[in-house]
Amino acid sequence: MVHVSDLSLQYCVGCGSCYKTGACIYKDDIENLSLSVADADGIIIGSPTYASNVSGQMKVIIDRGHFVMEQLLHGKYAICVTTYENYGGRDSTKILNKLLLYSGAKISASIALRNRFNKNPMEDIRLKQRIEKIVNSFLEDIVKRRRYRIQGLIHSIIFRMGIQPFVKRKGLEYEGVIKHWKDNNIVC
């Protein structure tokens, strides 16, 4: 379990070094986090809702985490969880779902939990049971390699018609991305 707010992180400055070389100019906790994600069978990603969006800390992870271009979640299963108090929980869930889908993950579940400020949602027994069910199904997905055909189709359209041609047009500027795809059998 990684608490985003404990990490030492720099903002993305848009230098393009990761696209060219595969590595960020900053050697901070996000680079290590990306390596752990690349090793995982699945991830559970969560954020509170701040102003109908994910938290600022989560946005830095999204910008710096090598997710979409490098297809970091290719072949992995994922759950996204957001909390909110009043309004906008679905907006932040949508942002995390898009990140997961565009990065190649299969989304086992996405949850928007309405919860009072600083209250532990797991104190609600019914909610706790619902979450346990979702987590068991997530683990089963990983073990049985469950197929999510519609998500696979949507991802394939986005990747083949949007991301891949864009990267090819960029040529050498994106050679780090293409190398990553080849090394990870995302393209041959």
Ligand X SMILES: Cc1cc2nc3c(=O)[nH]c(=O)nc-3n(C[C@H](O)[C@H](O)[C@H](O)COP(=O)(O)O)c2cc1C
For residue 19, how many other CB atoms are within 10 A of its CB? 20
Contact residues for ligand X, defined by CB under 6 A: 48-52, 83-88, 115, 117-118
Please say whether the beta carbons of 38 and 73 come within 8 A.
no
Count of other CB atoms within 10 angstroms of residue 39: 7
Spatial distance between the Cα atoms of 75 and 77, rounded to a whole number of angstroms: 7
Of residues 118 and 185, the one with the C-beta less far from ligand X: 118
Q: Are 104 and 155 spatial neighbours (Cβ–Cβ below 8 Å)?
A: yes
**How far is it, in rounded angstroms, from Cα 120 to Cα 116?**
8
CA pair distance 188, 183, nearest whole angstrom:
9
CB of 62 to ligand X, least distance (A): 17
User: Least distance (Å) from ligand X to the CB of residue 164?
Assistant: 35
3 or 149: whose CB is closer to ligand X? 3
Q: Closer CB to ligand X, residue 8 or residue 118? A: 118
CA–CA gap between residue 4 and residue 55 (Å, rounded):
10
Q: Which CB atom, from 34 or from 115, has the smaller least distance to ligand X?
A: 115
First to last CA, the chain: 33
In the three-class reduction of DSSP (H, G, I as helix; E, B as strand; rest coil), residue 43 is classed as strand
Q: Which is nearer to ligand X, 51 or 157 (CB)?
A: 51
Task: Kindly provide the residue ranges of all beta strands, DSSP E only, lying in 10-168, ordered along the sequence.
Answer: 42-48, 77-84, 106-114
Nearer to ligand X by C-beta: 34 or 47? 47
Please report how close the Cβ of residue 92 comes to ligand X at its closest, in angstroms.
8
Which residue of this chain has its Cβ atom nearest to ligand X in the complex? 83
**Identity at 129, one-letter amino acid code:** Q
Minimum CB distance to ligand X, residue 137 (Å): 24
CB of 85 to ligand X, least distance (A): 4
Instruction: Supply the minimum distance, in Å, between the C-beta of residue 52 and ligand X.
Output: 5
